[in-house]
Structure 1
Amino acid sequence: MNNYKKLSIAFSFFILLFYGEIAINIACGPEPDPYDYYVSYFHNDIQGDTYAAFSFTDLSFLYSEDEPQKESQINCDEWAQYLGGDVKATDVFSVMYRADNKTDSLISAWRTKKSITLPDTLKDNTFLQAIAKHKSAFDYYLFAKDCEEASAYAYDMWDPAPRDTTSMDSLAEKAIKRLKKVKRDEFLRLRYAYQAARMYHYSARYEKCLAVYEDYIEPLSYRSAVRGWALALKAGALRWLGDKEQAAFLFSKVFESNPERRIQAYKNYHYIDVSTPSVLALAKSKEEQAVIWSIEGFNNPSLNLHTLDTVYKLAPTSVLNGVLLIREMNKLEGYLNESPLSNDVYGYRNYYYGSDSLQLKAKSYADSLFRFSLHLASDKKYREPAFATIAAAYISWMQGENKRAFDLLQQLNPEHLSPKLQDQYRITELLVQASNIKKGDNFNPNALVPALKWLDEKCIVERKDKVDSFYGQKDLRFSRTTRHFYQSLLAPKYLALQDTAMAAILMVKGDLEWNHSHTRDSLFKYSSSETINFWRQQLTPTSLLRIKTLKENTPKDGLTEYLVKVLPALPNDDYYELLGTGYLRTHEYDKAVAAFDKLSPNYKFWVASDWYGSSEDAALHADPFLTTINDYPKAYADRGLNKKEFAEQMAMWQRKIKSNPKNAAKYYFAMANGVYQTGIFGNSWYLISYSWSHLDAYVSGTNYYDDDYKHAKQAIIWYEKARSLSKDVNFKATCTFMLAKCEQKKYGYRSVNDYYSSHNYGEPDPLWLFSMKNKYFVELEKYYKGTVFYNQALGECSYLSDFISARSK
Structure 2
Amino acid sequence: MSIIMGQYFKKCVILFSVFITSCIVIIIACSDIDFTYYSHFSPEVSDIDSSFEPMFISEDLFYNYSHFEYYSQRFNTNIIDEWSVYLEDRIPIKEIEYFLLDNNSTKEINELYANVQNSNKSGILNSRFSVIDSKVKGFIQFLYYAKQIEVISLQQLDVWDIEQGMKRNYASPEIIAELENRYHIESDPFLKNRYWFQVAKAKYYSIDKSSIISFFDKTKETVKKNNLYYRALSYVAGAHYKQRNYTLSNYLYSIVYYNCKEMRSIAAYNFHPQEQSDFDSSLQLASNNNEKIALWTLYGYYADDLKAIREISKLDTKNEHIDFLLAHFINNEEKRLNSEAELKNAVEYKNVLKENVNPEAVLLIDSIARQENTSRPFLWYMGAGYFQILAGNYKLADIYLEKSSKLISNKPLAVNQIRLLQLVNNILRIDSITKQHEEKLVSELDWLYNKCPNDSIKSFRYNHTVSWSKYYLSSLYKSQGNHVFSEILSPSTNYYINQNNIDNMIEYFTKKDMSSWDSIIIGQYAFTLSDLYDYVSIKNTYIYPENLDKAIYYMELSQHSNDTLDCDPFLGRIKDICECTEGNIPNIRFTKLDLLRRMKDLQLLIAKGERTYEHYLALGNAFYNITYFGNSREFYFNAIINNYGIYIDPLYKSWLLNSTIANTYFNNALQVANNNEQKALCVYMMSKCERNTFYTERYYEDGFLRDSYNQDTNYLAWNGFVKLKNEYSHTSFYKQVIKECGYFKSYISKR
Establish whether TM, by shorter chain, passes 0.5: yes
Deviates more, 1:531-540 or 1:134-143: 531-540
Tell me the equivalent position of 2:642.
690
Tell me the equivalent position of 2:380.
388
Tell me the equivalent position of 1:163.
168
CA contact (8 A) 1:207 1:237 kept: yes
Tell me the equivalent position of 2:35.
36
Deviation at 1:159, TM superposition (A): 3.6
**Which of 487, 492, 501 in structure 1 is aligned with 2:467?**
487
Tell me the equivalent position of 1:578.
535
Tell me the equivalent position of 2:338.
337
Deviation at 1:297, TM superposition (A): 2.1
Change in Cα spacing, 1:32 to 1:566, as seen in structure 2 (3 Å) is farther
Deviation at 1:250, TM superposition (A): 0.7
Matched, 1:424 2:446: no
Distance (whole Å) between structure 1 residues aligned to residue 186 and residue 525 of structure 2 = 71
Distance (whole Å) between structure 2 residues aligned to residue 395 and residue 322 of structure 1 = 16
Deviation at 1:311, TM superposition (A): 2.7
Change in Cα spacing, 1:430 to 1:33, as seen in structure 2 (3 Å) is farther
Change in Cα spacing, 1:586 to 1:103, as seen in structure 2 (3 Å) is farther
Change in Cα spacing, 1:272 to 1:334, as seen in structure 2 (3 Å) is closer
Matched, 1:439 2:443: no
| SS of the residue 2:221 aligns to | coil
Change in Cα spacing, 1:462 to 1:695, as seen in structure 2 (3 Å) is same
- Provide TM-score, normalisation by structure 1: 0.56
**Which of 244, 253, 256 in structure 2 is aligned with 1:254?**
256
Change in Cα spacing, 1:83 to 1:246, as seen in structure 2 (3 Å) is same
| SS of the residue 1:408 aligns to | helix
| SS of the residue 1:51 aligns to | helix
Tell me the equivalent position of 1:767.
none
Tell me the equivalent position of 2:731.
none
1:589-628 correspondence runs (5 A): 590-597=549-556, 599-601=560-562, 603-604=564-565
The alignment-based identity, stated in percent, is 17
CA contact (8 A) 1:501 1:544 kept: yes
CA contact (8 A) 2:51 2:262 kept: no
Tell me the equivalent position of 2:670.
none
Tell me the equivalent position of 2:204.
201
Deviation at 1:246, TM superposition (A): 1.0
Change in Cα spacing, 1:538 to 1:423, as seen in structure 2 (3 Å) is farther
Letter paired with 1:255? Y
Note the residue ranges of structure 2 that are not aligned, 5 or more in a row: 1-9, 13-28, 568-574, 580-590, 605-622, 628-632, 656-751
Tell me the equivalent position of 1:264.
266
1:726-741 correspondence runs (5 A): none
Tell me the equivalent position of 1:722.
none
Matched, 1:372 2:374: no
Deviation at 1:706, TM superposition (A): 10
Cα displacement string for residues 265-302 of structure 1 (whole angstroms, at most 9, x for unaligned residues): 222222766732122222222332232222122123xx
Distance (whole Å) between structure 1 residues aligned to residue 375 and residue 33 of structure 2 = 29
Distance (whole Å) between structure 1 residues aligned to residue 186 and residue 229 of structure 2 = 17
Distance (whole Å) between structure 2 residues aligned to residue 433 and residue 707 of structure 1 = 43
Distance (whole Å) between structure 2 residues aligned to residue 86 and residue 547 of structure 1 = 78
Tell me the equivalent position of 2:104.
100
CA contact (8 A) 2:247 2:273 kept: no
CA contact (8 A) 1:389 1:409 kept: yes
Deviation at 1:136, TM superposition (A): 1.8
Tell me the equivalent position of 2:610.
none
CA contact (8 A) 1:266 1:295 kept: yes
| SS of the residue 2:357 aligns to | helix
Change in Cα spacing, 1:164 to 1:358, as seen in structure 2 (3 Å) is farther
Cα displacement string for residues 302-349 of structure 1 (whole angstroms, at most 9, x for unaligned residues): x7532332232233222222222222222332344342xxxx5xxxx7
Cα displacement string for residues 442-485 of structure 1 (whole angstroms, at most 9, x for unaligned residues): 2454765478558866654548xxxxxxxxxxxx632xx33223
Letter paired with 2:414? L
Change in Cα spacing, 1:363 to 1:490, as seen in structure 2 (3 Å) is same
Cα displacement string for residues 503-523 of structure 1 (whole angstroms, at most 9, x for unaligned residues): 78878xxxxxxxxxxxxxxxx
Change in Cα spacing, 1:495 to 1:171, as seen in structure 2 (3 Å) is same
Matched, 1:76 2:80: yes
Tell me the equivalent position of 1:56.
57
What is the Cα-based RMSD across aligned positions, in Å?
5.6
1:697-716 correspondence runs (5 A): none
Matched, 1:211 2:214: yes
- Provide TM-score, normalisation by structure 2: 0.60
Deviation at 1:194, TM superposition (A): 1.2
Distance (whole Å) between structure 1 residues aligned to residue 553 and residue 194 of structure 2 = 81
Deviation at 1:390, TM superposition (A): 0.9
Tell me the equivalent position of 1:733.
none
| SS of the residue 2:292 aligns to | helix
1:538-577 correspondence runs (5 A): 540-542=501-503, 545=506, 549=510, 574=531, 576-577=533-534
Tell me the equivalent position of 1:724.
none
CA contact (8 A) 1:248 1:269 kept: yes
Distance (whole Å) between structure 1 residues aligned to residue 434 and residue 497 of structure 2 = 28
CA contact (8 A) 2:109 2:140 kept: no
CA contact (8 A) 1:294 1:324 kept: yes
Cα displacement string for residues 176-235 of structure 1 (whole angstroms, at most 9, x for unaligned residues): 11122323x33221211111111111113234312321233x022424101000101111
Higher Cα radius of gyration: 2
| SS of the residue 2:387 aligns to | helix
Tell me the equivalent position of 2:721.
none
Change in Cα spacing, 1:277 to 1:571, as seen in structure 2 (3 Å) is closer
Distance (whole Å) between structure 1 residues aligned to residue 381 and residue 509 of structure 2 = 44
Note the residue ranges of structure 1 that are not aligned, 5 or more in a row: 1-13, 18-29, 464-475, 508-530, 607-615, 621-641, 656-673, 679-683, 698-704, 710-809
Cα displacement string for residues 420-454 of structure 1 (whole angstroms, at most 9, x for unaligned residues): 43332222233334557762252454765478558
Number of aligned residue pairs: give it: 564
Cα displacement string for residues 147-186 of structure 1 (whole angstroms, at most 9, x for unaligned residues): 2123332445354584333x53322211111122323x33
Letter paired with 1:487? S
